[in-house]
Amino acid sequence: MYLSNLAMMVRRRWILAIVGLGLTAGLAVAGYFVAKPTYQATASILLLPPATTVPAEGNPFLQLGGLDLTVDLLGKALSDQAVTQQIEELSPTAEAEVGADPSSSGPILRIQVQDKSEEAAIEVRDVLVDMAPARLADLQSTVGVDGGNRVTSSVLVVDAVAEPVGRDPLVGAVIGGFIGLGLSLILLAVVDNVLLRREARRAGRRPVDADGSDPDGDEGGSQSADESSAEAPPSAAVAEQS
């Protein structure tokens, strides 16, 4: 379809073209909200060895070995049914992942929360960070570890803002707009072609497509040529009569 034919078609069916523009705009807006990203807030908590295992003037960061199992246990404790229910009450759309930090070989617990809004992701993340020391203490109390023999925790890193992850809403809007534009052009071409054929039949002439071409091709022309050749006497017969 040439641009000139498209312009003529839009002029003929301008009401349908306006409807198509509305459809395109609607799909673009829908694509923007469907592709809305989620927000992720992360925190890292470092587990420290018991004070009794560190020399008087020693460095606790040099005694971090052997705490990996404690990190795993704390991650399980912060993912149990009670905590999950509390998170759902706080934000039903939040998804929390608590476990050992895969990017580190040390005893670091990573808390990662994703939600539909930045504020909700940060709020749920902060709740889990606040729960970590108490859960760590409860784990050790159940096995009778008290006083200076307890493993403690220290917040290592906390994201100040939640980062958007996943889909880009602008890309979704562009894709929705292209889909709407394509559907509008197809609908416009089909309706225009049908109406042109109907108008041609009412006027008693051969129907034509929107671009002015004969939808039946050259069949009519070849049929007329065959009829005229059949009606004309062969040249050989004329020669014998003479």
Sorting pLDDT into bands at 50, 70 and 90, what band is 143?
Answer: confident
CA distance 97 to 117: 17
**Tens digits of residue pLDDT in 10-67:** 777 778 788 888 888 888 888 777 767 789 999 999 999 998 888 877 888 888 888 9
Domain with 11, as residue range(s), is 1-36+170-202
Whether residue 239 lies inside any domain: the answer is no
Whether residue 226 lies inside any domain: the answer is no
Sorting pLDDT into bands at 50, 70 and 90, what band is 120?
Answer: very high
Write down the pTM of the prediction.
0.59
Same domain, 44 and 7: no
Picking from 166, 170, 167, 172, the residue whose alpha carbon sits closest to that of residue 27 is 172
Same domain, 77 and 7: no
The number of folded domains in the chain is 2
Give the pLDDT of residue 222.
46
Residues 179-185, mean pLDDT to the nearest whole number:
84
Whether residue 210 lies inside any domain: the answer is no
**Tens digits of residue pLDDT in 212-239:** 555 555 444 444 444 444 444 544 444 4
Same domain, 83 and 192: no
Same domain, 177 and 151: no
CATH number of the domain within which 97 lies? 3.30.70.1130
Whether residue 212 lies inside any domain: the answer is no
Half-sphere exposure of 120 (CA within 13 A, CB side): 17
Same domain, 89 and 131: yes
CA distances from 193 to 142, 197, 216 (A): 80, 6, 14
Same domain, 20 and 130: no
Same domain, 25 and 98: no
Same domain, 178 and 193: yes
Kind plus residue range of the DSSP H or E element containing 94 = none
Whether residue 214 lies inside any domain: the answer is no
Same domain, 174 and 86: no
Same domain, 29 and 85: no
Whether residue 188 lies inside any domain: the answer is yes
Same domain, 145 and 195: no
Same domain, 56 and 142: yes
